[in-house]
Chains A and B, each alone.
Chain A
Amino acid sequence: MLRIKGRVAAVLPDNIDTDIIYPGRYLNITDREKTPEHLFELSYPEIRETLHPGDLMVGGRNFGCGSSREQAAAAIKFAGAGAVIASSFARIFYRNAINLGLPLIIAPAATGRIQPGDELEIDLAAGQILNQTRNETYPAAKLDVRAIELLEAGGLIPYLKASHVQI
């Protein structure tokens, strides 16, 4: 979990909001596995076709701004994305993704450089991204302890199952 390798399937601009990621009209779909059917449906429907399991996605500033809808993070996760890299993430989206076990990497120095198709290797513990295609490295913010704990457990549900609840 602390090392992620993958190909960049899409590079997106600043302020990708949760309505763009997952339109409000599909919020009554409460099966997480079904959410990828509507991923980026309004503005970038082609991403659904080009995203393969383990692929990475890159955004700009304030990725995931807007509503608290967990379906936005779920749609990216269950479409198979290995991680999302962005200059910054909106708060609720960040928590939702980590809670679902989708790694998010904050790396403002990387986002302008990475192009679709690049092969990356991310070292979460060291806070570093290696771009194998361009032979460049970029610093990334280290994940805080809490987020690493949750990601290693596979998300909040398995984490709570294992650590908190005595049923």
Chain B
Amino acid sequence: MRRWSLVAGVAAAALLATACGSSASSGSGSTSSPVTLTIWHNYGTEQNATALQNLAKAFEKIHKNVTVNVVSQPATNYFALLQAAAVSKTGPDLAVMWTGLFTIQYKDFLTNLKGKIPAADFARIDPAALKWTSDRFNPANGPYVIPLENQFYIGFYNKADFAKAGVTSVPTDWSQLFAACKRLKAAGYLPFTYGNGGQPLGAEFYPWYDMSYMMIGQYPLSEWQKLYSGQIPWTAAANASQLSIWSKLKSQGCTNSDVLTKTNNLGDFESGKAAMIVDGTWDTQKFTSALGAKVAAFVPPFSSAPIKGVVDFSGDGLSMTTYAQHPTQALQFLEFMTTPQAARIINAAGLIPAIKGTSTTNPVNQEMLNFVSQDHMTAYPMLDNVVQPNVVNTGSKELPSVLNGSISPSAALASLQSTQGQLPASQRGTSYP
């Protein structure tokens, strides 16, 4: 009996020692011992990846004891990997997260930063950017994400191609767009290029850039929530009409014929073969490097009346996982992202910082900002970030076929409507979750 008591005593002491040791090395309290902070991203080789790498290097210089391990995860199943890692608590300290309903979908393993980061740091961030990272899209509820940048879904056009084709003004509605297409075609240019942007596997082009502008052309911002709630059905005649006109871009020869299977559409634009492309700020630097002063931004005029809105939205940023091994350093990194130094690094990578009082030095990015600040266009969120992920998934599959002419607008919209109808009522309420 005595021997058993002795064994139990030794075991208890060992357990206690282990517990004390592990709490001391958890990283949450110590700021001087060597720490490796892990960040996952899905940026591939885009300029966002450059910005993140440079932020990490700058952070390491300030915090000598911290090594930042920036891990590039495959974009195709990034969120699946993140979710699986959260189940086993083997994921990173910080992870790139998309904002809007993507954040809300994954918030179970994201830390609400309210009270974790000083209010003064939050105050430096563009309030419009913080809004879309919080419960019910109300910043007072606390953000889950510190935005990396302000992003635009935007059109890029080649000024030289326009000039040679005799297109003297940038189109602002459907009729002007089709007229410009006709001139560009006649001059031997491909007016619009569509494709999957060089993704390595056979995915189709992402239709939500265009869909955002079709819905901007149709509804004021205050109405967009009704697309989420179903008060405006996807099958509404107005939506079908917009898609129907959009599909004429291909049937009237304004696009390449292989819109579903083309992979080098970015190359077409960079080479000057194609005059227009709908893309985003993450490729601005690539286009300005290839085309110099020839490239400019324009608002895709997918509207019967002159278009009045632009997608200006902080689409992504960094979140701290609930199981982060080094929460102290992770929070320090997030705080660092709100500083002017971080803004300069983000700008240098060709992105638009989401920090108040900072600017962009890329002239094409500045043109985008001017759409809101000088032309007084309404800033809209990305439509795919504010409608249900299931609907986005169905749209990503069905909408490209509408442009291709393989299925009718009404069939595609019926599919979206059906997907939305399958969701429980809690996921299509009159307010965001």
* A and B from one complex: no
A interface residue numbers (CB < 8 A to B): none
Residues of chain B whose beta carbon lies under 8 Å from any beta carbon of chain A: none
